[in-house]
Amino acid sequence: MRAKGTRAIRRAVGVLAILSLAFSAAACGGGGSATPAAQDTGPVTLRLGYFPNLTHAPAMIGLEKGFFSQELGSQVTIRTATFNAGPEAVTAMLSGALDIAYIGPNPAINAYAQSNRTGIRIIAGATSGGAALVVKPGITGAEQLKGKKIASPQLGNTQDVALRAWLTAQGVSVTKEGGEVTIVAQANSQTLDTFKNGTIDGAWVPEPWATRLQLEGGGKVLVDEKTLWPGGKFVTTHVIVRTQFLQQHPGVVERFLRGHVKAVEFAASSPDEAKIVVNSSLEKLTGKALKKETIDAAWPNLLFTVDPIASSLRRSAADAQKAGLLDPVDLSGIYSLDRLNAVLTALGKPTVGA
């Protein structure tokens, strides 16, 4: 898998003003004494990347509700950048332009492999589900996709790999160069337009685009990706950190994760308010809010969880290898969950594993 995106950090959407709160042990949350790592202080800029998709709702909630700023304190400034797909974010992170990013599994694997297993670590889960293959109404099976054009957000991104793996499992030949189905890499917003005008016949996309292709483009779901995974659970979005940043600022990372846990819990437990918060953020980022019917229809397709669902990452890596998008890579060191588990333990919540 190759990250082909441009330095997407240039598309930074601005700086989040951090609340002027004096840093103290109480600001670390949990009500108890902070771990030594959580006490590291000093002016730090945290560059955070995410996508304007519902699958990245915890990032938007953490920013809009102030969960990140409350936990990080006045010594940490957050700068944000948004991306269309994971390979773009990987390019930014491996160039040193991002510190933490919400991203899909396959770009995270790509970043890990490209950096000789040193560049990034996965530090938490965020979202499961919320991805589907939506097609024209007359298409009822994989055989009918032969000779058709199907879109994915970007070559090597999470949905692109899922699409290629599913087609191969259905006996449909696909390669990076072509095959029996032409896979077109394009921005999700462009995909909606090309689906409407008939340039493409379907797309494997995350929410809210899967729902928008149905409601606005007249499409239908041919494959809901959760039906392909045990228990319907698979990682769509998790959180990665640049390894050097983790080593230099472990306390900042731990405090960020406190805010992340709050954001995930808010998304899961307060869906009505969470949808309002996220839609407001989407309007700021894209210039247009989602229709209420769209966000209401898409939201139940998402499961928000800090569990990174590690087993699904390993299968995604195997699928990418079969598709010729990834050389074999040892994933044994890709997770660094000790900070997350410290936060969960302090909150009296179950820990997660890799």
The correct CATH number of 8-130+233-346 out of 3.40.50.300, 3.40.630.30, 3.40.50.880, 3.40.190.10 is: 3.40.190.10
Three-class DSSP category at 242: strand
- CATH topology for 131-232 is D-Maltodextrin-Binding Protein; domain 2 (3.40.190)
Q: Quickly tell me which residue has 């979005």 as its tokens.
A: 237
Three-state DSSP state, 3: coil
Tell whether pTM > 0.85: no
pLDDT at residue 40, as a whole number: 65
Say if 8-130+233-346 and 131-232 have the same CATH topology. yes
Burial group, residue 177, by CB count within 10 angstroms (0-12, 13-18, 19+): exposed
pLDDT at 99: 98
Residue pLDDT, tens place only, 309-330 = 999 999 999 999 998 888 999 9
Pairwise CA distance, residues 38 & 70, whole Å: 14
Domain edges within the chain: 8-130+233-346, 131-232
Helical spans, DSSP H, in the chain = 57-64, 67-72, 86-94, 105-114, 158-169, 188-196, 209-215, 243-248, 250-269, 271-286, 292-298, 310-322, 338-346
The tens place of each residue's pLDDT in the chain, 354 residues long, gives 333 333 333 333 332 222 222 222 222 333 223 344 445 667 999 999 999 999 999 999 999 999 999 999 999 999 999 998 888 899 999 999 999 999 999 999 999 999 999 999 999 999 999 999 999 999 999 999 999 999 999 898 889 999 999 999 999 999 887 899 999 999 998 999 999 999 999 999 999 999 999 999 999 999 999 999 999 999 999 999 999 999 999 999 999 999 999 999 999 999 999 999 999 999 999 999 999 999 999 999 999 999 999 999 999 999 999 988 889 999 999 999 999 999 999 999 999 998
Under a CB-based contact definition with an 8 Å cutoff, are residues 123 and 47 in contact?
no
Instruction: Give 253-304 pLDDT, tens digit per residue.
Output: 999 999 999 999 999 999 999 999 999 999 999 999 999 999 999 999 999 9
- 152, containing H or E segment: strand 149-152
pLDDT recorded at residue 201: 97
